[in-house]
Structure formats: C-alpha cells, structure tokens
Amino acid sequence: MTSTILQDHQASGQASTDFWRTAVVYQIYPRSFADSNGDGIGDLPGITSRVPYLRSLGVDAVWLSPFYPSALADGGYDVDDHRNVDPRLGTLADFDAMVSALHAADIKVIVDIVPNHTSNRHVWFRQALTAGRGAPERDRYLFRDGRGQGGEEPPNDWESIFGGSAWAPAGDGQWYFHCFAAEQPDLNWENEEVREDFRCTVRFWADRGADGFRIDVAHGLRKDMSEPYPPWGEIADIMRPDGSHPLWDRDDVHEIYADWRRIFDSYNPPRYAVAEASVHPTRRARYAAADSLGQAFNFAMQDAGWRAEDFREVINAGLADMINTGSTTSWLLGCHDTPRVASRYGLPFEAGSLSQQVARAWLLTDGVAPYLDRALGERRARAAIMILLALPGSTYIYQGEELGLHEVGDLPPEALEDPMASRSTSEKGRDGCRVPLPWNAADPSYGFGSGSAHLPQPDWFAAYAVSVQDVDPDSTLNLYRQALALRRQVFPGSDISWVDSEPSVLHFARADGARCITNFGTEPVALPSGEVLLSSAHLDHGRLPGDATVWLRML
C-alpha cells in the first residue's frame, strides 16, 4: 500500500531548470576549511586549492559562511565591511580566482549576506558613536535613551540571543540594541541609507559571479521599537504564528526581500536566495515565496531524534511546504550552529528533548556524559544522509559531515571562540563543529595547513582524514560520493509516496520504481525484491540491518 504525498505537477516550477531547486550545496566555514599559508586560519586560496576535492565529492554548489573583514567576535558574522574580503582570508582577487575555479568545475557559489547587523568596527558604527545623540549617523542603528537620571540603565530588559542584555551603552546616556553579541549592533531598516547599501552589496557579489545568497537571520531586520516596551517575559518566545513579535518575523520584512527580488531577477540567470528563518513552521512558506527569497532552510531535521516517526513528521511538513510555496525544501542535518549530526545520533535518545538539546547538554560536560557511541552515531548519520538525498528538493551538507566527523566535545575553555560560550551560562557554544577539517592523517594540523589550527584538533581526527577515507571503499566519504553521483539519475522529478511498513521502518517510493528504505530498529528487516543501488551498511543475507538505509529499484 502506498499513499502519494507529492506529485510532480503539485510542485509548480519543478519543471524549471533552476539549479537550486534540487541542488546539493556544500557549506564551507572558510576559517576552518583549508589554510593555504600556514597562519592557522583557513582562507580563500585554501578553498581554491580544494576545488578538485569538491568536484570529486559531486556537489552542485558551495555556500561560504562570511569571509568579510571581521574581528571574529561571532565567527565572521560580525561584518566590518560587507563588500570586501578579510585580509587574513585573502583579497577580492582571490575571491575572483576561487569563483573562476569553482565555476570551471561546474560548482555554483553562494555568498552569505548578513543584513541584520554590522560589526562594531564598521565605519558607520564608529561614526554613530562619535557623532553623538540625535545625529543622523545614529539613525542607521537602534540607539535609545537609557533609563535612570543619567541614562545609566538600559532602555528595557530585553535579552540577547547569546545571553545577557540586548543593549550596550554608548557612553553618553544612550544605548544601542544588539540581538546577538555587543559587537554586532543591529541596523535600522527604516533608514533608506541602510536599504540602499544592501542593494549595493547584493549587486556587488552578483556582479562578481555569486550565483545565489544565503540570508543570515532573514527573520530579523524589521523591528517595532515603539514604547511602551513589552517586558521580556512576554516576548522571550520568538516563534509566533501571526507576525506580532516586536523583533522577529514581522510581515514587513518581506518588502525588503521583494525589493531584492527585483535585483536578483535583473540578472541572467536570476540569482537565487535561501532564508535562514527560525520562525513558526506555519510562517516559513512566506520566506520561500517566489516574490520573497524563494527558498528557506528546513531546520527541523536538526531537532529530530533518530526515530522513524520523527523523520516521517519532518518530511511530511517539508513536503507540505513545497506544495504551499511552489518552491523546494532545503533539507539539512547540520550547520555551523549545531552539534554535529554523527554525535547527535550517537547519544542516547531522550523522549521530550530535541536531539540538539541532548547534544548541547553533553557539551556542557565537555563530552563526558552521557556516553557517546561514536560508531553508532556515524552509522546512523550515513543512513540519514541517504534519506535526505532521496527526497525531492535540495540538500545542504555542512563541511565534515561527508567524513562522518564528530563534534569535538572537550575543547578547553581557553580555546573557545564563540561569544555564546562567554555570554551564556548555559551553553558551551558552537566551536565543537567548527574545528578545522582533517585532510591528511600524516601532516601537521592533519593537512589543514602547514602550521597549527585556530581551534585545536583532537588526536582522533587522524582516523577521519580524507587521506584515510579516500582509500577505504566503505568510508563515509566514499558513500557520499556514490550517493551524490547516483542521486540525480535515481530520483528525478518530485513524485513521492509513503509505503506502508512496520513502525521502525521508513519506506518511500519515488518515480520509476526507486525506493528508499531505512531501518531505525536493531533487528534486520526483509527487503522487497529489487536491485540494490546503494546501501549505508552491508546487507545481512539480503536483509537490511538496523540503523541503515538502502536505495533500490523494484524489479
């Protein structure tokens, strides 16, 4: 028995050749990818030198997290200049060379736009501080008078996403608002200069060859900062179904994206965008609408536990989004903000807790408790990526997932770089998934560069190095390569139906008899007769073992 959930004609625009609708996009965190000059920081020439690797992996596009000039108060999401390259990472000429090399390898380039805030070192913010209260330079940001006689108290009790107050003093009785770190003052999107500057930024990178954009905190930007301010207790939950939150997911943010859409569409081919929108699930479709950003990340898989019913629920919601928007979902298992997927699946399942929460609690113990079963986590992560790659839509892979890399749980406190670690009392932060990649087991910093790495790499990284996995036909890297090579031919179009199966098995059918079957249980299960195209683990006398996925074609 099968039940159809999506048919080709339901996802309008599916017939279109827009690459992004079905692309596999590889996320590069530039500072931790490859270091060309041995200073411990990954850079753009390092990325260019690894284009052959990306090509052999078989990805359609790369998304680069920020490479702009930055003091790295938030890993580069504190941008000093949105239209330049950090001198430690290279030059604009290096960017151009990287884009040429990627394009020559048929890999598209997606640039990260950070419009909610600048860094506190941005020329505008320095001008705002010196210009003083009431000056037009302050109107580009969100300055407000403090409470108390000399303004020595912040304007209200609102909190930063990273912990602590969302206000920092300007030194003259005024305070500026920052949703994230104090080094990331929020821009005032009512200000026409701000709007014009970002039009300019979007055009700047599109003119330089960017094929698309990832929009950072797309649900931010517009704010209602009018008084009286609601107390924090009333607005701490940012996920509202109706756009009424004063800081997040306001309806009028889409005016900005409609404006950008005109710019995107003025190029041939049109540029595309994907929204990082942490919003109520019923609101995600707005960001994926054709007259807004066009696509939105589906983060729900990062929270799903390793259970068939959790995966089924997330998949159904993502497919419903596709029907509602005419866009495609962008599936992902992780990113630079989330504990690595292999570790999430190697920790015990806790009913009522999101998979991320369990891993974050584990990080607070420096990775000591509960016990992390590394092999189990890797095995499940292999099975999981085969599910994502078999679904209609696009998939984002975070660098290192293709190596089955685990979160580094025991980074010493003095090594931590993430402001979340210093500002929050309840989070260790996101550095554990940002440790530089191991390329070569025998080299210093495992081939990341000729020197050391900006975050310390543990000894066990050696076993995950590309050099080791290259020569092992069963490695996770080679599984990714095979899956990416097969995916397009095995799963064209967007038809998908569920196939009835036992509760611990997830089974769906795609066009032309292609099937994806995952066993979330521990006992092997029988398979329908068909040609096995790929499996995440060796079959057990023709049966699918636990924690494994198989792709097959029905005979």
Cα–Cα–Cα angle for 340, 23, 284, rounded to 5 degrees: 70
Answer for the pair 394, 19: CB distance below 8 angstroms, yes or no: no
Contact mark string toward ligand GLC, 107..136, x via CB under 6 A: -------x----------------------
Residue type, 484: L
Element spanning 361, H or E: helix 355-364
127 sits near Ca ion (criterion: CB under 5 A): no
Contact mark string toward ligand GLC, 332..361, x via CB under 6 A: ----xx------------------------
180 sits near ligand GLC (criterion: CB under 6 A): yes
74 sits near ligand GLC (criterion: CB under 6 A): yes
Q: CA of 208: how far to CAs of 93, 104, 288, 315, in Å?
A: 10, 15, 25, 36
- Please, what is the minimum distance in Å from the beta carbon of residue 74 to ligand GLC? 5
Helix, strand, or coil here: 272?
A: strand
- Please, what is the minimum distance in Å from the beta carbon of residue 216 to ligand GLC? 5
310 sits near ligand GLC (criterion: CB under 6 A): no
Beta bridge partners of 64: 28, 111
- Residue 41 binding partner per list ligand GLC, Ca ion, none, with a CB distance cut-off of 5 to 8 Å that depends on partner kind: Ca ion
The Cα–Cα gap between 324 and 342 comes to 32
Q: Which of 25, 28, 34, 41 binds Ca ion (CB under 5 A)?
A: 41
The Cα–Cα gap between 66 and 54 comes to 19
- Please, what is the minimum distance in Å from the beta carbon of residue 110 to Ca ion? 22
DSSP annotation string for 183-244 = TSPBB-TT-HHHHHHHHHHHHHHHHTT--EEEETTTT-S----PSSPPPHHHHS----TTS-
37 sits near Ca ion (criterion: CB under 5 A): yes
- Residue 43 binding partner per list Ca ion, ligand GLC, none, with a CB distance cut-off of 5 to 8 Å that depends on partner kind: Ca ion
Query: How would you classify residue 98: left for phi > 0, otherwise alpha for psi between -120 and 50, otherwise beta?
Result: alpha
- Please, what is the minimum distance in Å from the beta carbon of residue 345 to Ca ion? 33
Written as six digits, the tokens of 482 are 């095979």
Answer for the pair 360, 429: CB distance below 8 angstroms, yes or no: no
- Please, what is the minimum distance in Å from the beta carbon of residue 186 to ligand GLC? 10
183 sits near ligand GLC (criterion: CB under 6 A): no
Looking at 41-49, 172-180, 236-244, 537-545, which segment touches Ca ion (CB under 5 A)?
A: 41-49
Angle between helical axes of 253-265 and 192-207 (0-180°, round to 10): 30
Q: Which of 13, 18, 19, 39 binds Ca ion (CB under 5 A)?
A: 39
Nearer to ligand GLC, 113 or 486 (CB): 113
Q: Which of 20, 33, 77, 257 binds ligand GLC (CB under 6 A)?
A: 77
The distance from CA 291 to its chain's CA centroid, rounded to whole angstroms, is: 22
Count of residues touching ligand GLC (by CB under 6 A): 9
- Residue 180 binding partner per list ligand GLC, Ca ion, none, with a CB distance cut-off of 5 to 8 Å that depends on partner kind: ligand GLC
**Any idea how long the chain is?**
555
216 sits near ligand GLC (criterion: CB under 6 A): yes
Nearer to Ca ion, 37 or 478 (CB): 37
Residue type, 214: R
Backbone angles phi, psi at 190, to 5 degrees: -80, -15
80 sits near ligand GLC (criterion: CB under 6 A): no
- Please, what is the minimum distance in Å from the beta carbon of residue 542 to ligand GLC? 44
Contact residues toward ligand GLC (CB under 6 A) are 74, 77, 114, 180, 216-217, 276, 336-337
Contact residues toward Ca ion (CB under 5 A) are 35, 37, 39, 41, 43
